[in-house]
Chains A and B, each alone.
Chain A
Amino acid sequence: MLNLIIFIPLLAAFAVLLGAPARKSALAAAAAGLVISLFALFSYDASKAGFQFASSTPVVPEWDLKFLLAADGLSLVMLLLTNLVTLAAVWITPLVEKRENIFYACLLFITAGAAGAFASQDLFFFYAFHELALIPTFLLIGLWGSGQRHAAAWKITIYLALGSFILLIGLVDLYNALPAGVRTFDMIKLQQLASAHVIPEASQTRPYLLLLVGFGILISLFPFHSWAPTAYASAPTPAAMLHAGVLKKFGLYGLIRLAVPLLPAGAQHWSWLLLTLLVGNVIYVGLATIAQKKLDMTLGYSSVMHMGYIFLGIAAFNLVGVTGAAVLMFAHGLSIAALFAMAGHLRKFSPSLAYETMGGLGKPMPFLGAAFGMAAFASIGLPGFANFSSEILVFFGAFKPAFTPEAGSYQLATAFALWGVVISAVYMLRAYRAIFLGGVRKDSTDWVDPIFSLRLPVILLLATLMITGFFPGGIVNLVKPSIEALLPK
């Protein structure tokens, strides 16, 4: 089943490159992916928890390197996120004027790479699948982007290449930190080894730092974040949706899946660093968000800012906080994808997306006004959407962290994060007001809502957010046992 989730988009991508009808194949692959990931979700036996749907093909037996796919609750939620956003992103893709087949193939490669990274339980493939997804992202921005696309593409390439490189060194360092006899690429085995405390505490600090910085750059951890807003602003809409919504979660997923459970002593050692930087994400980047004058930049910055909350939940290192962080990854992915999708529609009328070119659009665009309002409210953490229920878990988790000697600094960081809730209300409501409220501009008479079929992807994302927001129990209980297994006893 997991093989299908990875190889359907991969094969579809090659088929598209070889001349299959691009949009139709991509849509079919995305829809199939969503159906299969939903099917996997419902056939997952929650009473047994743990990894299921495992399949393993040895690749280099000497190093215990194999193509190992398996999914627990956490992986399944990430796969669902991947396929939901993919479907929405492919669906919403406007007419591509040049090299349509390569464009759609890139989208499908990103999907396959992200799905592969979330389903692989082998270090090598975990890393390699992410690389597979990154490269088409650069291409999409560089070739089909808008504005200063070349500069933006270079910046994201340099940053993420650097991040991947540091991550790679970190993974190698982690591998080498294991005693020689038990070295393995198998992440499930690694987890068992970590539970048995085979990685000496003293040798945990360096690999953790490397992983934190490596993953951190990929996640736009402050101060390595400045690639993100410009990249999202320049990226074509589906690429922004897929990267901000899904691919960026790879780094967070990696922290939860690898860095935290395998190197707990390292995590405790560097907790002050992570706390400081995440406050930078929430407060510094939050303030920078307020100063933005264009919608795409506001959304890009806000997405960087919200990473701070997820970091906080991970840093808390306890069941409540990390579960909150995992669910928040899902929620943030859906809400930012929905926001970028709607920004993409507005771009048809205002290519710059500058606030001064818009205003009063709630009147000519009632659907977009309502849907954007809902997505904005979701992203600033209002009850009724999954963002709230996960954010509140993060706050409670971080206020009583696992590392009791550091509790004071965690509580301080939580207080800062709570102030971030005020900041995000300021920039989101200002943006909303600038675009949709106020008098109708005379030059916006031909601005219209998206046609019905293009509303569906947004409705799909918002409905999922609302269902999981009103009834968070399902997704929380799916993720919780996986997190429980990952956290040190």
Chain B
Amino acid sequence: MDPHLPWFILLNPLVTAALIHFLLRRSPGWSAVLSTASACVGLLTAFGIWFSGFPTQPIEVPWLDFSPSFRLPIGITIDALSKVMLLVVTGIGALIHIYSTVYMARDEAKSRFFGNLSLFMFSMLGIVLANNFGMMFIFWELVGVSSYLLIGHWFTRDSAAAAANKAFITNRIGDFGFMLGILIVWNATGSLIFSEIAANLGALTGLGTGWVTAAALLVFCGAVGKSAQMPLHVWLPDAMEGPTPVSALIHAATMVAAGVYMLARVYFLIGASLDAQLVIQWIGVITAVFAALMATQQDDIKRILAYSTLSQLGYMVCAVGLAAPNAAMFHLFTHAFFKALLFLGAGAIIHHLHHEQNIWKMGGLSGRMKVTFWTFLAGYLALIGCPFFSGFYSKDLILMAAWHQNGLVFVLALFTAFLTAFYMTRLVVVVFLGQARSNEASHGHDGPGAMSLPLVILAALSVVAGYGTESYFEHAFQGLPAHEHAGVVPWLAIGAFLLGSALSFVIYQGRAKDPIVIRLFKNKFYFDELYAALIAGTHDLLAQISSWFDKWVLDGIIVRGLSGSAWGAGFMLRFLQVGNLQAYSFLFGIGAVALIYFVVLVK
């Protein structure tokens, strides 16, 4: 293949972002056009890469080069994994750009929005293409920045500013572990390049299983932050303060999936430690269950989808831990379409209900927002795992892996499937069926073509994305344990989905307010309160202590003690009392110069 293609796809959004931020700040219209055009060109390039085979030469430029001890190049991997990821990122990216031209049409900082959207595309594509840990970390951080900027787009809102900070700092906590893991891997294998590490993994495993497990789990920390796994999940629901297209692009389809993609990319490392895999599958499934429980009691349409995203990411992470990265990537692939669709559908509703996000103030929208309703329904069915929709197949593969590996994890994963059907049916019933429960809801209508078109395309993809793709992901990985197909698993999944949706339908049909109140779920298991207390209790307290110590002990005692001590009592103190700074400084300079002569002369 032509090596210019991947460079072009990577640099195109960077140039776009730079043009918009530095030149088009005052031309919002042109910014939107340029950014959207660049995203569409990106999609075309991704297709070009898809159809043009694999590179024969390494595509690489040096960046920080201290060969042989340390080498961090900007290098590109084109393989089955990155090819499909390029399509997902640019494809959904392009659709969301188109959608945003309507959603953000009257935003007063439209240029900034589109500039940052392009910056995000650049960062995300860098993660997808990276052929080494160093470059991945660079773009990992850049994704963090662009996410910060986009969550905080409406920065005059205090909640948006708080959410942006929370997302960034929480991610950095994960990155702390990620970097440490990278350092351990590099220290043992002497390389940052994925292929070289994989070939030289013996140098790491030779140090003992403890080091491998530590390295794998520390690298996993990065994914815990970016893919919002427990206990670092708290930022994602708050990130819904950003504009809805941002939620769809970043916090559903791409950025949060980066953690899973990274795990799949370095699966050679994860797969080398059984202990690490055990931890990863449990973190994944616990996130899946807890997030689904929280989702059942939320009232904000975007937050329900956010918790649902957490839960689905839990599935993917769990799959990596179950030695099924192919299932994780498959679910990442299908989920990207249907979750982007659900967010954009929710965005259409919010847009036309004048930024009303409470599902209890909606209702009866199926008649007035037909396109939105039917497309949302497709996404809904895919998410809850209805047979013949894409989500069914990918979820089935994860459940199958759990069935073979860990019975308890399987039960929890199945329970999550039940909960998913439950909370999503609640959402659909409350939002779309019954009576309009607010003035806005009774006037809702579908958006213009640029808003509906992405919905229709994504709906179609949500249906078909599960066909013929399963084997693609299977071929992308080598040496995975083969499972025989257990016929009972899909039936159990279907049972869970039927039970969950039927139960939810019966409970919520025709209700005007939530008949179930479970404070623990509604308050998200009090994680935020716990962390607030923890941070106030440790970091901030330590901060106060060290600041106090600095002011009163180091400064007070030492400085005052010094000037009063015998050392200062001589010539120093006299000048202090004279209090003439200029005189002192001058004499000091002379004295210093004289002293060196003196010492040298005496010798």
Contact = CB atoms under 8 A, between A and B. Distances in A.
Interface residues of A, number: 82
B176 A419 contact: yes
A239 B542 CA distance: 31
Given A290-B539, A426-B169, A473-B62, A383 B581 contact: no
Interface string A276-308: 000000001101111110000000000000000
Contact of B156 (A175, A288, A360): A360
A319 B66 CA distance: 8
Contacts, number: 184
A54 interface: no
Interface string A418-436: 1101110110011001001
B596 interface: yes
A143 B155 CA distance: 40
A408 to B, nearest CB: 11
The CB with the most chain B CB atoms within 10 A, among A124, A285, A291, A476, is that of A291
Given A360-B156, A393-B64, A418-B180, A284 B600 contact: no
Contacts of A323: 66
Nearest to B119: A384
Interface string B587-598: 011001101100
A182 B264 CA distance: 61
Interface in B133-162: 134, 137-139, 141-142, 145, 152, 155-158, 160-162
Contact of B589 (A132, A159, A225, A437): A132
B176 A422 contact: yes
B539 to A, nearest CB: 7
A139 B585 contact: yes
Contacts of A377: 145
B543 A287 contact: yes
B165 interface: yes
Contacts of B165: 429-430, 433
Interface stretch (B249-257, B467-475, B547-555): B547-555
B178 to A, nearest CB: 10
B183 A395 contact: yes
A168 B592 contact: yes
Interface string A30-63: 0000000000000000000000000000000001
A362 interface: yes
Contacts of B547: 287-288, 291-292
A127 B596 contact: yes
A289 B348 CA distance: 44
A142 interface: yes
B599 interface: yes
B540 A291 contact: yes
Given A437-B152, A473-B64, A284 B596 contact: no
B543 A157 contact: no
Contacts of A473: 62-65
B581 A223 contact: no
B543 A429 contact: no
A143 B596 CA distance: 29
B522 interface: no
A400 interface: yes
A159 B559 CA distance: 8
The CB with the most chain B CB atoms within 10 A, among A138, A164, A437, is that of A437
B161 A438 contact: yes
B173 interface: yes
B63 A472 contact: yes
A421 B106 CA distance: 38
Interface in B550-603: 550-551, 554-555, 558-559, 562-563, 568, 572, 576, 581-582, 584-586, 588-589, 592-593, 595-596, 599-600, 603
B155 A438 contact: yes
B543 A290 contact: yes
A227 B554 CA distance: 10
A388 B135 CA distance: 12
Interface in B56-74: 62-66, 69-70, 72
A298 B1 CA distance: 51
A179 to B, nearest CB: 13
A456 to B, nearest CB: 15
Classify the secondary structure of A's interface with B.
helix
A128 B588 CA distance: 12
Nearest to A153: B581
Contacts of B551: 226
B293 to A, nearest CB: 29
A164 B161 CA distance: 45
Interface in A291-337: 291-292, 318-320, 323
Contacts of B145: 377, 382
A157 B563 CA distance: 11
A199 to B, nearest CB: 17
Contacts of A134: 589
B169 A162 contact: no
B585 A135 contact: yes
A467 interface: no
A172 B599 contact: yes
B585 A288 contact: no
Interface string A356-395: 0000101100000000000001000011100011001101
A155 interface: yes
A400 B187 contact: yes
A4 interface: no
Contacts of A423: 539
Given A287-B539, A389-B64, A436 B555 contact: no
Contacts of B603: 176
B168 interface: yes
Contacts of B550: 226, 285, 288
A476 B64 contact: yes
Given A291-B547, A419-B176, A437-B156, A175 B600 contact: yes
A227 B168 CA distance: 32
Contacts of B155: 362, 436-438
Nearest to A230: B555
B141 A382 contact: yes
Contacts of B576: 154
A287 B550 CA distance: 11
Contacts of B161: 433, 437-438
Contact of A131 (B142, B179, B559, B589): B589
A48 to B, nearest CB: 20
B183 to A, nearest CB: 5
A82 to B, nearest CB: 20
Interface in B116-134: 134
B599 A392 contact: no
The CB with the most chain B CB atoms within 10 A, among A396, A426, A436, is that of A396
B511 interface: no
Contacts of A436: 155
A310 B68 CA distance: 23
A132 B62 CA distance: 42
A439 interface: yes
B546 A285 contact: yes
Contacts of B545: 287
A439 B145 CA distance: 22
Interface of B: 62-66, 69-70, 72, 134, 137-139, 141-142, 145, 152, 155-158, 160-162, 164-165, 168-169, 172-173, 175-176, 179-180, 183, 186-187, 539-540, 542-547, 549-551, 554-555, 558-559, 562-563, 568, 572, 576, 581-582, 584-586, 588-589, 592-593, 595-596, 599-600, 603
Given A127-B592, A285-B546, 11 more contacts: A134-B589, A226-B558, A230-B555, A285-B550, A318-B69, A383-B142, A421-B175, A421-B176, A421-B179, A422-B173, A439-B158
Task: List 7 A-B pairs, minimum CB-CB distance, nearest first.
Answer: A437-B161, A291-B547, A290-B543, A291-B543, A288-B546, A135-B585, A383-B138
26 contacts: A134-B589, A155-B555, A157-B581, A158-B562, A171-B596, A175-B600, A223-B554, A226-B558, A285-B546, A287-B543, A290-B539, A290-B540, A318-B69, A320-B66, A360-B156, A362-B155, A382-B145, A392-B134, A399-B183, A419-B176, A421-B179, A429-B165, A433-B165, A437-B156, A438-B161, A440-B156
